[in-house]
Amino acid sequence: MSVSPLALAARSPRRTLLYALPVIAVLLVLPWVADQYSTILLAYGLVMAIAALGFNLLLVYTGLLSFGHSAYFGVGAYAVAMMVKYLKVSSMELFVVGAIVASAAVSALFGFVCVRYTRIFFSILTLALSQVLWSLAFKFFWITGGTDGLRVPTPSLLGVTPGGDKIAFLARGYYYYVLVLFLACAAVMWVIVNSPFGKALQAIRDNETRASFVGVQIWRCRWVAFVVSGVFTGLAGALWVPLNGLTTPDILHWQFSGEIVFMTVLGGFRTFAGPIVGAVVFNYLKTYAVGYTVYWQLLLGVILVTLVLSLPTGIVGMVERLTERVRRRRATAS
């Protein structure tokens, strides 16, 4: 896989902040400007952005296409639902910790098997393993609720139990909770991909043999990347459940993994910000497509095919190319 050096070149932290700060400011102010519905929709988008960030660590920085990330998302979500059902927990912080532990355990186990393979076999294996969890959630209905799923009530944030309107809670308190965790995740991921470990992953992706010659432990690096990726996705699953109020086996099905791949490609998986943009845009796209027609899958499928045919670098890639063109024209003009 060839990756444009321009897109992946590590930008200086200062320049990254320069791009990020206005976006963060908008995200902070938004709940006071936009209506509750759009705010909650954005919260969904940010949650999916965490999952897509984790997924992208494997896809672009490690060169492994997972078609089974629904597994870790689902494990995070079901971990929360189980804590509610069996342990009567209602603190969001405990949910987050529980989901991280559960998704780390599952992704460590699955990753142990999967990272021995690359390319198509990796994709099929991750898909097959995620389907194991789906079939268990589907069949063991006395534990998981089967297709009815498990209900999750609104949690308490930082020890404060929310009172009153659930919608208002989701659009204000919970939105900020998600936003803070999202920013933390983005920062952590930024550090990871620019750390020596991140560089080692990219070296493995570009040339496995050479990487092992300079002493990179290929198998272990891939495994760690897999677990980190799984934990990010699991955390997203935990944050998603209170928004949705319900967890069903659908989020463990491999078609949900396909949606995670879709949003990453939509945003452009060769850039750091691509998956974030893609997740937020995909969430709007899907919500409106579902509301607009029963044949929303058809619509999204056509968009996906058109996208891969004509816009393989995604939204962010396209924007980058356009700004590059403008800059060059300006340079020649002056």
Partner 1 sequence: MDFLLIHLLNSLLFASVLFLTAGGLSLIYGVMRIVNLAHGNLYAFGAYVTAWAIGGVLAGAPTPLLYLLLPAGAVAAALLGAALEPTLLRPFYKRAEEYQLLVTFGLLMILEDLMRLLWGPYPLSASALWENSGSVTISGNPYPNYNLVVIAIGLVAAVFLWAFVYKTKFGVVLRATSQDMRMASALGIDVNRVYVQAFTLGCFMAGLGGAMIVPRDSAVLGMGVDALVLAFIVVVIGGLGSLEGALAGALIVGVVRELGITFFAEIELAVLYLIAVLVLLARPAGLFGRP
Give the whole-angstrom CA distance, residue 201 versus residue 216.
Answer: 9
Among 44, 61, 67, 256, binds partner 1 (CB under 8 A): 67
Among 25, 184, 298, 318, binds partner 1 (CB under 8 A): 298
Q: In angstroms, what is the minimal distance from the CB of 76 to partner 1?
A: 20
One DSSP character per residue, 294-316 reads TTHHHHHHHHHHHHHHH-TTHHH
Give the whole-angstrom CA distance, residue 109 versus residue 100.
Answer: 14
Q: In angstroms, what is the minimal distance from the CB of 223 to partner 1?
A: 15
Give the whole-angstrom CA distance, residue 59 versus residue 253.
Answer: 19
Q: In angstroms, what is the minimal distance from the CB of 244 to partner 1?
A: 21
- The structure tokens listed for 89 are 């927990």
Stretch that binds partner 1, among 5-13, 45-53, 85-93, 292-300 (CB under 8 A): 292-300
Among 24, 167, 187, 308, binds partner 1 (CB under 8 A): 308
Q: In angstroms, what is the minimal distance from the CB of 77 to partner 1?
A: 19
Alpha-carbon distances, residue 304 vs 29, 216, 256, 282 (angstroms): 32, 36, 15, 11
The 3-state DSSP class for residue 18 equals helix
Residue 326 in the binding site for partner 1 (CB under 8 A): no
Stretch that binds partner 1, among 11-19, 92-100, 109-117, 211-219 (CB under 8 A): 109-117
Residue 291 in the binding site for partner 1 (CB under 8 A): no
The 3-state DSSP class for residue 258 equals helix
Instruction: Report how far apart the first and last C-alpha atoms of the chain are (Å, whole number).
Output: 37
Residue 260 in the binding site for partner 1 (CB under 8 A): no
Chain positions 181 to 210 lying near partner 1, rule: CB under 8 A, are: none
Number of residues forming the site for partner 1 (CB under 8 A)? 42
Give the whole-angstrom CA distance, residue 147 versus residue 249.
Answer: 6
Give the whole-angstrom CA distance, residue 174 versus residue 71.
Answer: 24
* Binding positions for partner 1, rule: CB under 8 A: 1, 59, 65, 67, 113, 116-117, 119-121, 123-125, 127-129, 131-132, 135-136, 139-140, 254-255, 258, 261-262, 265, 294-298, 300-305, 308-309, 312
